[in-house]
Amino acid sequence: MALPEHGTFAVRDGVTYEVASTAADTVTLRVPGDPGPLADELEGGIRRDGDRWARVRKSSLERYFSRHVTVAWQGEQLGLGRVVGDTAEIHGSSPAVADRLGLEGDQYNGFRATVPVEELSVVDVREEEIDV
């Protein structure tokens, strides 16, 4: 099962990119593969994982938004973090749930675990537009 990605995203020329960082007037996009420089790219380079990054003006974005994904795991609803291959990071805030499920963390920083994607089901996906 493919899970929707959680995070902040920007759309340029019909392509959705993960936002790695943001500044007042620019965003740094994570650009998988090597498509070459983006149009109007202010700066760019290669990340340690081999993907490109590109800094672009926010005014060049077609859409800028965040996506929050809630998943179910072992009967509990938890937030979805980064998905890598066939594992996903989940997070929650309840000490009682964390204790029952064996999540690591604390009540101040939250509780987390990495679990197989196949054990998760999507409960809710919410997208929120970000003003440019």
pLDDT tops 90 at residue 114 = yes
- How do the domains of the chain map onto residue ranges? 7-65, 67-129
Q: What is the mean pLDDT of the chain?
A: 92
* Paired sense of beta strands 43-46 and 15-22, if any: unpaired
The string of pLDDT tens digits covering residues 20-32 is 999 999 999 999 8
Residues 6+ apart with CB under 8 A from 62: 11, 12, 13, 14
**Amino acid 52: pLDDT:** 87
Q: Which amino acid is at 23?
A: A
Q: Is the pLDDT of residue 104 over 80?
A: yes
pLDDT band at 87 (very low <50, low <70, confident <90, very high): very high
Give mean pLDDT, residues 45-64: 89
What digits encode the pLDDT tens for the residues 1-50?
678 999 999 999 899 999 999 999 999 999 987 666 777 888 888 888 77
| pLDDT average, residue stretch 84-95 | 94
Containing 106, the helix (H) or strand (E) segment is strand 104-106
This model's pTM is above 0.85:
no
Distance CA 40, CA 103 (A): 44
3-class DSSP assignment, residue 98: helix
Average pLDDT over residues 55-73: 96
CATH node for 67-129: 2.30.30
